[in-house]
Amino acid sequence: MAHIIDGKKIAAATRADIAERVAAFEKENGFKPGLAVIIVGENPASQVYVRNKKKACEDVGMYSVVIEMPEATTQDELMDKIEELKNASAIHGILVQLPLPAHLDEEAVIAAIPPEKDVDAFHAQNTGKIMIGDYDFLPCTPAGVMKMLEFEGVEVEGKECVVVGRSNIVGKPQAMLLLHKNGTVTICHSRTKNLAEVTRRADILVVAVGRADFITGDMIKPGAVVIDVGMNRREDGKLTGDVDFASAEKVAGMITPVPGGVGPMTITMLLENTLTAAKKYINK
């Protein structure tokens, strides 16, 4: 049976360390690192995420403000709000909760966030920097996965790493981070042929597809490290990953559960990015 990678435990240890560094930052500079989260409309899942982000900030001693804007907000109104936050000295990180209502242009919004306050690391300047390996911010989910691997002492160098999914926020940056650690990386997607043949080669398998139980035990190499990024709601309302945990844990060497795996790490890395943004503000 696989060793279960406990995301909650790793997140708690990392957040305790961040809290100490936040306290030291405040002592030295006389103010707290600050995060502003903008939420437009009333998507219930987004509301939960935003509440969790605010609480996580406060728990580590950061300042946090949530700006709730109505569903009917115009592009100009949202851009004006970002402009206001761009110039706010108490705010070092700006995050616009996605998805936005359909009438708003997400790409334009991401481009409007100043790169030095872009704690989600979605701005083209920050994603480009990830490509060349010289970055200030990493997107929170892939960064959280790397932190878990490090915490568990998983060596990436020379390993066959397979990432299933190629989104801009998870799959692509995840592949790049594994590459920076000298893994031999393969990226799979919906047009990949013979997926199981590829996934069975993986020493480290990261799955970010968005389909419940998509990866089954027979698609996993015995002893592999399996990281399940997926978050899917079953009909009964229960949260589940992209990996069929019951069959996978019999084959894998290590595996993350859902919930309690990658999820808690994502917000943790947002906290790390907000502290980095505050330090950048000081150094400017």
Which of residues 2 and 175 has its CB atom nearest to ligand NDP in the complex? 175
Minimum Å gap between C-beta 142 and ligand NDP is 9
Rule CB under 6 A: choose which of 110, 262, 275, 278 binds ligand NDP: 262
Residue 93 CB, nearest approach to ligand NDP (Å): 17
- Strand-strand pairing, 239-240 and 232-233: antiparallel
Residue 36 or residue 209: which is nearer to ligand NDP going by CB? Answer: 209
Token digits for 51? 């509440």
- Omega into 222 within 30° of 0, i.e. cis? no
| Angle, CA of 178, 36 and 23, to the nearest 5° | 75
Taking the least distance from each CB to ligand NDP, the nearer of 87 and 190 is 190
- Residues 158-197: x where in contact with ligand NDP by CB under 6 A, - otherwise, as a string: ------xxxx-xxx----------------xxxxx--x--
Residue with tokens 């851009």: 79
- CA atoms within a 13 Å half-sphere pointing along the CA-CB vector of 144: 33
Please check whether residue 280 is in contact with residue 119, taking contact to mean a CB–CB distance below 8 angstroms. no
> Does residue 209 belong to the site contacting ligand NDP (CB under 6 A)?
yes
3-class state of residue 162 by DSSP:
strand
Task: Select 81 or 172, whichever has its Cβ closest to ligand NDP.
Answer: 172
| Phi, psi (degrees; rounded to nearest 5) at 191 | -100, 5
Q: From the CB of 209, what's the least distance to ligand NDP, in Å?
A: 4
Q: Among the options 6, 118, 120, 242, which is catalytic?
A: 120
Asked whether 238 and 225 are in contact (CB, 8 A), the reply is: no
Question: Least separation, in Å, of the C-beta of 190 and ligand NDP?
Answer: 3
Kindly give, in sequence order, each residue whose CB lies less than 8 Å from that of residue 231, ignoring residues fewer than 6 positions away. Answer: 210, 239, 241, 258, 259, 263
Just list the catalytic residues. Answer: 53, 97, 120
- What residues make contact with ligand NDP under the rule CB under 6 A? 141, 164-167, 169-171, 188-192, 195, 208-210, 229-232, 262-263, 266
